[in-house]
């Protein structure tokens, strides 16, 4: 915990003296004291709000990049603003925020950019602590809480992109406060795309916004009134977007009580169906095996370069919700340990956690079955064989079918209860299909798709829905479905790529029918496969980066969905794909994509060393050149490139798979720089749609 500042000490001393004075003040007793009534607890109710207000700011110039205009507006056209051509100070910004109407829900969109500029005048240590909440963590009454920072009479707190500022009202001891929620994570994409998806603004208005965003680096050359009008328009549309989000949640009977993102939607749903009470307890001896069996989605190529069409892209309809639907109750069953279990024992279990091991294989196959995590680099590979690791039942059965892996120990779970804790997922899916891809339908999709994230939540004290057993089975079951595209023969080289819930191949694959979810009457049943054809073929650059060979200049929405730009961002890929192809054709080992800029935000622009303390980068709050280098090297997923562009998998890994450490302990591990950068960009241009 960081030491208290002088302002904090003064504040807490004043509060202590206040309490002491109250304790010594004589009391007037007029009637006998009665036993206190038992404290009644009430479910958390959604806040009663008068209006929704969107907030946004704009800057001018490069080196220095000055934050000159901050505006807010509601959905009915009322607006507020403050400006300074020499750059707004932190005090000017905070005072403006505190003047916004009471009882309002104030929201930003990718607001980390704005906060970086708004809070620039804070001392380095306070600024670092504010953006690194674990530095301010303390425990009180068994709960993890986060102490605020104090500066120039303001009290500020930041928690998971939720920013609160407060100041004592003049002549009183009460605080006036405003909270700004960053609602970007509900949409995970550009602001203009969210307006289109939710049908908030006319296309002509959105086109103007797109044009203005493209000129962001030259706002100092545009008429100032035009920039201010654009910013006010964004605030108005943001307020309308958030109101539509709230209304859609009410229509779906999932009324929000917080606005952190899609996880807030999932939390409402999981509370409603009582999931916290269905997680059960597992033997302590399972703790490490469960952590060893947790992996994310599978991204892997068996080939690099051009693949002529037709190429078939098969995707699972709502892959994670399909796996979630089949998860069993963990409260009413029993775990047992088995040495050298028979396959029939594993098949008869409700769940099974299996330790696998295999002898080195001979010959070359296209795909390994099970993931192995390295204990030093934390990278993941899928070898053809290895010293071993842990995996869940469905994935192990598919791996055994392909390569004959053996089980030398297992934890088996049996239950006869019919709780079916997640059965409502099927009803949500059915309703989403019925209402379509607007408003309520989007909310229902958020609720179902975000359940996985709540089961794998590693932040906070005792996350209420966390279950590494459920989380591991969700991703493992999805990887097992991908393995259904293989038969263990030479034909497996025709399977080009795995991408979480998708398979790319040069032949049509006859996938097994999904398990029953009561949705077989729908055109796209839950867990079924949907196939699209890429007639021209694809270019495979590396896992998570691929695009059609006939890449259009302005792709349609359906074409956008066939493109992945993991680590680059789709905007960069749309602009730079010819450079990637040219570099590969020239035999280069990697390609550097230039003429890209990025904003240096408060997290990437601040560093802390044990000896040097907190330092602020000279590029803090500035736009800088940011060339991106993408390698054609298949490592760490695979070991080398064979003739014809085939990628050679590891034949044998002589190491046990390492546990996922966050499943063992709550950590404050640093986030990858690429993800931090994406988090700080205005409008989310660098956001990745896939994570592993």
Residues 220 and 106 in one domain: yes
Residues 508, 491: Cα–Cα separation, whole Å = 12
CA angle 284, 289, 295 (to 5 degrees): 130
What secondary structure, in 3-state letters, does 379-432 show? CEECCCCEEEEEEEHHHHHHHHHHHCCEEEEEEEEECCCCCCCCCHHHHHHHHH
Residues 249 and 349 in one domain: no
Residues 408, 406: Cα–Cα separation, whole Å = 6
Tokens representing 469 are 């057993």
Among residues 260, 291, 318, which one ends one of the domains? 260
Tokens representing 186 are 């509900």
What is the layout of strands, in order, in the sheet containing 154-159? 79-83, 66-74, 51-60, 104-108, 175-182, 162-168, 154-159, 149-151
Q: Is residue 375 domain-resident?
A: yes
- DSSP strands (E only) in 47-136: 51-60, 66-74, 79-83, 104-108
Tell me the angle at which helices 439-449 and 262-272 cross, rounded to the nearest 10 degrees. 80
Residues 165 and 116 in one domain: yes
Sign of the CA dihedral with 181 first, then 186, 190, and 196 last: negative
Residues 228 and 319 in one domain: no
How do 143-146 and 137-140 pair as beta strands? Answer: antiparallel
Among residues 208, 235, 260, which one ends one of the domains? 260
- DSSP strands (E only) in 89-205: 104-108, 137-140, 143-146, 149-151, 154-159, 162-168, 175-182
Which of 260, 196, 267, 689 is CA-nearest to residue 438? 196
Please tell me the total number of residues recorded for the chain in this structure: 692
CA angle 631, 634, 636 (to 5 degrees): 105
Sign of the CA dihedral with 579 first, then 581, 586, and 589 last: positive
CA angle 344, 351, 398 (to 5 degrees): 60
Structural domain count of the chain: 2
Q: Is residue 164 domain-resident?
A: yes
Residues 85 and 155 in one domain: yes
The answer to whether 319 and 527 are in contact (CB under 8 A) is: yes
Residues 543, 545: Cα–Cα separation, whole Å = 6
Among residues 196, 231, 260, which one ends one of the domains? 260
Q: Is residue 101 domain-resident?
A: yes
Q: Is residue 33 domain-resident?
A: no
Residues 383, 407: Cα–Cα separation, whole Å = 17
Q: What is the DSSP letter of 515?
A: P
Q: Which residues constitute the domain of residue 69?
A: 51-260
Residues 302, 497: Cα–Cα separation, whole Å = 6
Residues 457, 270: Cα–Cα separation, whole Å = 13
Question: pLDDT tens digits, residue range 362-412?
Answer: 888 999 999 999 988 889 999 999 999 999 999 999 999 998 888 999 999
Q: Is residue 20 domain-resident?
A: no
Which of 383, 381, 337 is CA-nearest to residue 358? 383
Q: Within a 10 A sphere around the Cβ of 397, how many other Cβ atoms?
A: 19
Residues 345 and 408 in one domain: yes
Residues of the chain with pLDDT under 70: 1-49, 460, 555-562, 666-675, 684-692
Residues 451, 264: Cα–Cα separation, whole Å = 10
CA angle 257, 447, 143 (to 5 degrees): 45
Tokens representing 380 are 């993941």
Q: Is residue 32 domain-resident?
A: no
3-state SS of the chain: helix, strand, coil percent to 5?
35, 25, 40
Residues 425 and 528 in one domain: yes
* pLDDT in the model for residue 209: 93
Residues 449 and 309 in one domain: yes
Residues 110, 428: Cα–Cα separation, whole Å = 29
* pLDDT in the model for residue 97: 98
Residues 339 and 224 in one domain: no
Residues 393 and 432 in one domain: yes
Residues 316 and 458 in one domain: yes
Tell me the angle at which helices 224-251 and 203-214 cross, rounded to the nearest 10 degrees. 130
The per-residue DSSP string of 99-111 comes to TSPTTEEEEESST
Tokens representing 126 are 């306070």
**Dmax (CA) of the chain:** 95
CA angle 570, 573, 575 (to 5 degrees): 115
Q: Is residue 46 domain-resident?
A: no
Residues 303 and 447 in one domain: yes
Q: Is residue 294 domain-resident?
A: yes
């Amino acid at each position: 915990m960081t030491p208290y500042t002088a302002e904090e000490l003064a504040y807490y001393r004043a509060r202590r003296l206040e309490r002491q004075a109250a304790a010594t003040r004589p009391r007037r007793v007029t009637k006998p004291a009665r036993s206190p009534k038992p404290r009644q607890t009430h479910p958390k109710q959604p806040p009663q709000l008068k209006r929704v207000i969107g907030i946004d700011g704009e800057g001018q110039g490069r080196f220095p990049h000055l934050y000159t205009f901050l505006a807010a507006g509601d959905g009915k056209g009322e607006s507020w603003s403050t400006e300074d051509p020499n750059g707004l100070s932190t005090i000017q910004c905070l005072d403006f925020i505190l003047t916004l109407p009471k009882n309002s829900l104030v929201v930003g969109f990718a607001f980390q950019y704005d906060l970086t500029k708004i809070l620039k005048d804070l001392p380095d240590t306070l600024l670092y602590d504010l953006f690194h909440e674990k530095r301010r963590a303390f425990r009180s009454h068994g709960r993890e809480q986060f102490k605020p920072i104090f500066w120039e009479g303001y009290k500020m707190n930041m928690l998971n992109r939720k920013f609160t500022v407060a100041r004592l009202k003049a002549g009183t001891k009460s605080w006036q406060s405003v909270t700004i929620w960053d609602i970007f994570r509900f949409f995970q994409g550009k602001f203009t795309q969210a307006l289109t998806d939710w049908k908030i603004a006319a296309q002509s208005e959105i086109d103007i916004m797109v044009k203005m965003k493209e000129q962001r680096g030259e706002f100092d050359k545009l008429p100032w009134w035009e920039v201010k009008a654009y910013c006010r328009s964004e605030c108005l549309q943001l307020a309308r977007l958030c109101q539509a989000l709230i209304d859609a949640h009410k229509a779906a009977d999932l009324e929000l009580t917080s606005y952190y993102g899609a996880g807030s939607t999932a939390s409402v749903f999981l509370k409603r169906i009582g999931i916290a009470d269905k997680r059960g307890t597992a033997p302590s001896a399972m703790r490490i095996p469960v952590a060893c069996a947790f992996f994310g989605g599978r991204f892997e190529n068996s080939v690099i370069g051009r693949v002529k069409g037709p190429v078939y892209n098969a995707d699972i309809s709502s892959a994670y919700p399909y796996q979630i639907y089949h998860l069993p109750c963990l409260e009413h069953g029993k775990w047992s340990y088995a040495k050298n279990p028979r396959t029939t024992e594993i098949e008869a279990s409700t769940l099974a956690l299996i330790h696998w091991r295999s002898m080195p294989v001979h010959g070359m196959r296209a795909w390994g079955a099970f993931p192995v995590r390295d204990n030093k680099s934390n990278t993941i590979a899928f070898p053809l064989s290895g010293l071993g690791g842990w995996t869940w039942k469905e994935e192990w059965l598919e791996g055994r079918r392909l390569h004959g892996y053996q089980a030398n120990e297992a934890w088996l779970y049996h239950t006869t209860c019919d709780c079916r804790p997640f059965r409502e997922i099927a009803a949500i899916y059915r309703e989403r299909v019925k209402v379509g891809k607007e408003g309520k339908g989007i909310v229902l999709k958020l609720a179902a798709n975000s359940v996985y994230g709540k089961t794998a939540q590693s932040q906070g004290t005792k996350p209420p829905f966390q279950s590494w057993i459920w989380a591991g089975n969700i991703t493992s079951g999805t990887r097992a479905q991908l393995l259904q595209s293989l038969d263990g023969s030479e034909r497996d080289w025709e399977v080009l790529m795995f991408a979480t819930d998708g398979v790319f191949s040069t032949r049509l694959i006859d996938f097994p029918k999904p398990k029953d979810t009561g949705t077989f009457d729908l055109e796209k049943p839950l867990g079924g496969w949907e196939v699209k054809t890429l007639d021209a073929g694809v270019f495979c650059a590396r896992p998570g980066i691929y695009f059609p060979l006939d890449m259009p200049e302005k792709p349609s929405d359906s074409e956008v969905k066939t493109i992945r730009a993991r680590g680059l961002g789709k905007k960069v890929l749309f602009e730079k794909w010819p450079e990637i192809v040219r570099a590969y054709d020239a035999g280069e080992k990697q390609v550097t994509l230039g003429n890209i800029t990025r904003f240096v935000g408060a997290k990437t622009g601040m560093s802390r060393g044990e000896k040097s303390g907190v330092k602020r980068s000279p590029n803090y709050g500035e736009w800088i050149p940011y060339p991106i280098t993408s390698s054609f090297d298949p490592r760490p997923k695979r070991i080398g490139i064979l003739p014809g562009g085939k990628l050679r998998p590891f034949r044998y890994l002589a190491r046990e798979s390492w546990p996922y450490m966050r499943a063992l302990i709550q950590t404050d591990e640093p986030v990858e720089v690429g993800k931090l950068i994406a988090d700080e960009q205005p409008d989310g241009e660098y956001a990745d749609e896939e994570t592993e």
